[in-house]
Amino acid sequence: MKGLSISIVCLLFLVSPLAGLAQSRVGLNYGVHVGWLNVGKEEAQMYIGEYGVNSKIDLQYLLIENETNYTKLKEYYNDDFSLYELPQKVAYKSTLSIGGTLQYYTTETFAIFADAIFASPSIKNGTFSIKLQSKTGSLSNEVIEHGSITAKENRFNFELGIHKAFKTKTNILPYLEAAACLSYLEVKSHEISIGNVKQNISYSNSQNSTTFSKCGFGGEIAGGVQLPLSEKFYLYSGISVTAYKFNIVGQTPYSLAKSIDFKLLL
């Protein structure tokens, strides 16, 4: 995130000589959105069974109570075992976001906007471990084996809000935005792997679905600068923070997603 912030400053310095090319923005403007998204970590806890989305996600169930997996691991390690450490600090990797945007300017500095954005975040820090039982006479004899939990999502985010720019002596204008947001979360893959056990997790919201999905809602605030690149094209560059609530069982009230955003509008 720090490197991207420095890049934004350098970009503004390079294009500042073009700031005199402004034309009226009143009316409908449309363009593309590209961002670097850091999704809030709270939803990631469901992949380790934290929220009770599905009791069969729980590692105790998958590795100990599931007789097939339990037997396979005992034979693989030629030893009995127990859970030793659960995943710590599970979160999402930062990821690219892409989409489209519409802005309708009622004046040169005020607009109503709508964004549709897609991202596909995956989790990190999903490492867990088991301890083999026959070599636990002392700490030096403990044998620890590690496994991993991996997961990837599709997220479709929709935003409707207002955009307010502030006039300056140049055509580089700072702006603020506020928006209401709707997000659709869909689990693309979820896998647990250790030893000779590799299991894809299948779970659902209903009897007729094998993919977990959830809608969330929230609000966004953003700020940045806008400037002309030519007579027709405008660049918008800024930072946004969005609070989402997905109503996943046991989830904390809101998760915060942060993003560095670029919009190119015609």
Q: What is the pLDDT of residues 74-116, one digit of tens each?
A: 999 999 999 998 888 899 999 999 999 999 999 999 999 999 9
pLDDT category of residue 158 using cuts at 50, 70 and 90: very high
Kind of pairing, strands 123-124 and 91-92?
antiparallel
Q: How many domains does the chain have?
A: 1
Q: What does the pLDDT look like over 187-229, one tens digit per residue?
A: 999 999 999 999 888 655 444 445 688 899 999 999 999 999 9
Please say whether the beta carbons of 228 and 252 come within 8 A.
no
Mention every residue, 6+ apart, whose C-beta is less than 8 A from residue 60: 83
Q: pLDDT digits over 115-154, tens only?
A: 999 999 999 999 999 999 876 555 556 889 999 999 999 9
Structure tokens, 43 = 């939803």
> Could you give the CA distance from residue 266 to residue 257 in angstroms, rounded to a whole number?
27
Quick one: which H or E segment has residue 262? Answer: strand 255-265
Structural tokens at position 139:
């700490």
Phi, psi of 103, rounded to the nearest 5 degrees: -135, 130
Domain range for 128 = 2-265
Provide the CATH number for the domain around residue 192: 2.40.160.20
Residue appearing with tokens 């084996």: 145
> Is the CB of residue 18 less than 8 Å from the CB of residue 230?
yes
pLDDT at 18: 47
Residue 131: Cβ within 10 Å count: 17
Residue 15 near residue 229 (C-beta atoms within 8 A): yes
Separation of alpha carbons 60 and 67, rounded Å: 11
Q: Where do we find the tokens 């500095």?
A: 109
What stretch of H or E contains 219?
Answer: strand 213-228
Query: According to the model, what pLDDT value does residue 252 have?
Result: 67
> Hey, how many other C-beta atoms are within 10 angstroms of the C-beta on 153?
23
For residues 64, 66, 67 and 73, what is the CA-based torsion angle, rounded to 10 degrees? Answer: -60
Please answer whether residues 49 and 57 qualify as being in contact, where contact means their C-beta atoms are separated by less than 8 angstroms: yes
| Number of neighbours of residue 247 by Cβ within 10 angstroms | 10
Arithmetic mean of pLDDT, 1-11: 49
Specify the residue for token string 């693309």: 188
